[in-house]
Structure 1
Amino acid sequence: MSYTIEKREKGYLLFTITRSEKRNAINYEVMNGLEEAINEASEADSKALIITGEGDRAFCSGGDLSVFHLLHTKEEAYPMLSKMADILYSLLTLPIPTISLMNGSTVGGGCELAAACDFRLARNGIKAGFVQGKQAITTGWGGGTILAEKLPAANAMKMLMDAELHTAEELKAYGFIDALFEKDALMACEAYLEKILAKDLRVLESYKRIWIRKWEETKLRERIEEEVRNCASLWESDAHHDYVKSFIMKKR
């Protein structure tokens, strides 16, 4: 399996991508696992959902290009992009707090996954960035649209358009990272959530609903769909395929 889902005694659900050999890149199995975790978190009595990656090298390196390089046209790319966008929107609108526990480097689609969570905690010293621009595409899972909801416009634009990796300290200054930690990731996350987990579940759900209502009223899902379609169009460009070929050759 490419993931694990654990219910923890302190009242939260823990989802871990277990593909450390692939820097916890997202494939179709991880997508299905995220759907499973989101459904379980919404149906059970969990007070939070924590998402992290196996090991300490990477939280998530985005989409697994060794799998997705088989997608050439926009018609082929769209179903994959749309599926993951649906998952991230479900994560964004999950009626309990969600936390991205960034234990290692976070790249491309990994940043989109992190953006969809309510809180982002990062290990001091890691780097992260929306590097899709270097691949001649844009964010395609809704991450750009979600980022625009959560950060000041100039900060979000700079992160997306630069397409560079930034230090955790820089990302905290941008407002993307909420807290930094040094040692044990899960222990640090539990400490960060301690007061939240002590509250009644109905209180947490009521507060989360404030933001969900806002996103529904401002048609966030429709705006994400436009992002998905734009990325699908760029996906079939020669510039993107040249990047993917170069990436695959380096791996070999």
Structure 2
Amino acid sequence: MVSHLLKKSSCESSVTKLLRWNGLSLYNTSHGFHEEEVKEKLKQFTGGCIDLQKKDNGIGILTLNNPSKMNAFSGVMMLQLLEKVIELENWTEGIGLIVRGANSTFSSGSDLNAVKALGTPEDGVALCMFMQNTLTRLMRLPLVSVALVQGRALGGGAEVTTACDFRLMTPESEIRFVHKEMGIIPSWGGTTRLVEIIGSRQTLKVLTGALKLDSQKALNIGMVDDILKSSDETQCLQEAQEWLQQFISGPPEVIKTLKKSVASVKELCLEEALQTERDLLGTVWGGPANLEAITRKGKFNK
């Protein structure tokens, strides 16, 4: 009886820790963040939209769609991005995600009209917290995600690519963190995630130099995972889906649990990460995929 209660308590503790980084906001009023106030301000800046297509094969395609401004984020688009991320958090059939821009370009970052209007330090910090929250939730999704970079990913657009698990570029595309030239620093979580992707030394070069990373340079420093063959919008999207397929093939519950396990390591201390890994294992050990694999008697080794 006592051991049963201890086991139950441990599971509840683990669930609490998992909820801390999955599907919840980073900030609340105790941090001085008033989300509804920020949303009201962002509603004023219209233009563009965020499209989400959820395919039968379990791959979602999230499209930044504001082509007249190189897919720059208007305030409404920022609100819609959070809405789509929440929708993806609840998409039980999903296992993969491709983030892309409309009309063969990724994103030029924030719409300058919104940036100019939100000109006080207080406004800047509030917007920072809102987008950090949204992109962290994107990063935590139990979906294997890839940013498909066509054309240019600039400023905030470059930061969005870092919230995905992988990045793919077309031959003529470019990633550039232009924040220095605007007199600011990355504030959507881009610096933190970029250090994790390419290390602190390379990150300092990329940010202080506002370096133009073409596809080959980005590949050389580990910023991207592959360069696609085609720059055609339709063909490169097909290529990206085929590339992603290798990482989402298999039992969906196992793929999603693997993603949760890897994502947790980024945010938990060693002891908590090990406990989370253990408790996640309990959700798949002895499950249908595990039992089926055992009956194959090692055929997966061939």
1:59 equivalent in structure 2: 106
Query: Any idea what SS the aligned residue of 2:266 has?
Result: helix
Q: 2:254 matched to 1:203?
A: yes
Q: Which residue of 1 aligns with 2:243?
A: 192
Q: Do 1:18 and 1:54's aligned partners in 2 also have CA atoms closer than 8 Å?
A: yes
The one of 68, 75, 85 equivalent to 1:38 is 85
- Are 2:98 and 1:50 equivalent residues in the alignment? yes
Q: What is the aligned partner in structure 2 of residue 244 from structure 1?
A: none
Query: Which amino acid is the alignment partner of residue 50 of structure 1?
Result: I
Pairing 1:3–2:50 present: yes
* Structure 2, unaligned runs of 5 or more: 1-47, 270-302
CA RMSD of aligned residues (A): 1.6
Partner SS, residue 60 of structure 2? strand
> How far apart are residue 197 of structure 1 and its match?
3.0
Q: Which amino acid aligns with 1:116?
A: A
Q: 1:23 aligns with which of 70, 78, 83?
A: 70
Identical pairs, percent: 26
2:265 equivalent in structure 1: 214
Which position in structure 2 is the counterpart of 1:165? Answer: 212
Counterparts of 1:210 and 1:3 in 2: how far apart (Å)?
28
Name structure 1 gaps, 5 residues minimum: 219-252
Tell me the residue number matched to 2:155. Answer: 108
Higher relative contact order (CA 8 A, sep 6+): 1
CA distance in 2 between counterparts of 1:162 and 1:87 reads 27
Partner secondary structure for residue 142 of structure 2? coil
The Cα shift of 1:80 comes to 1.3
Give 1:39 shift: 1.6
- Supply the distance in 1 between the matched residues of 2:260 and 2:95 (Cα, whole angstroms): 14
| Alpha-carbon separation, structure 2, partners of 1:32 and 1:12 | 22
Query: Residue type of the partner of 1:11?
Result: G
Check conservation: 1:41, 1:48, Cα contact below 8 A.
no
Letter in 2 for 1:46: G
Give the Cα–Cα distance (whole angstroms) in 2 for the partners of residues 6 and 210 of structure 1: 26
Relative to the length of structure 1, the TM-score reads 0.82
1:236 match: none
Q: Could you list the per-position Cα deviations for residues 194-246 of structure 1 after superposition, in whole angstroms to 9, with x for gaps in the alignment?
A: 2223222211122112332222215xxxxxxxxxxxxxxxxxxxxxxxxxxxx
Q: 1:13 aligned to 2:60? A: yes
Contact persistence 1:41–1:49 (CA under 8 A)? no
Name segments (4+ residues, structure 1) moved above 6 Å. none
Q: Deviations over 1:31-86 (max 9, x none)?
A: 22222222222211111121110011x20111111222112211121211111110
Amino acid at match of 1:200: P
Partners of 2:144 and 2:248 within 8 A in 1: no
Task: Please name the residue that 2:295 is paired with.
Answer: none
Structure number with greater Rg is: 2
Aligned residue in 1 for 2:280: none
Between the aligned partners of 2:221 and 2:198, the Cα distance in structure 1 is: 8
